[in-house]
């Protein structure tokens, strides 16, 4: 795990909050040191979707729209 984190071009987590959490001793599961060192490649992607784009109510690509 540490070798992968050390050499990765980008490290991505499920949210910006979790990206911060894994850099702490409490949330880093003993990998917090390497994650702090590599914070410049660590990003969190915000969970969720853009509901105006991905709307089953208005999607032209599905057989039947729904709400």
- Give tens-digit pLDDT for 32-57: 999 999 999 999 998 888 888 888 99
Report the alpha-carbon distance of residue 48 to residue 18 in Å, rounded.
15
Report the alpha-carbon distance of residue 39 to residue 10 in Å, rounded.
10
pTM above 0.85, yes or no: no
Retrieve residue 58's tokens: 């208005």
DSSP, collapsed to helix, strand or coil, labels residue 44 as strand
pLDDT digits (tens, 9 = 90+) for 11-40: 999 999 999 999 999 999 999 999 999 999
Q: How many whole angstroms from its chain centre is CA 52?
A: 21
Report the alpha-carbon distance of residue 8 to residue 58 in Å, rounded.
39
């Amino acid at each position: 795990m540490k070798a992968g984190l050390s050499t990765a071009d980008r490290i991505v987590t499920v949210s910006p909050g979790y990206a911060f959490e894994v850099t702490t001793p409490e949330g880093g599961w003993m990998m917090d040191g390497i994650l702090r060192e590599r914070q410049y490649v660590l990003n969190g992607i915000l969970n969720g979707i853009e509901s105006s784009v991905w709307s089953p109510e208005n999607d032209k690509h599905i057989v039947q729209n729904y709400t």
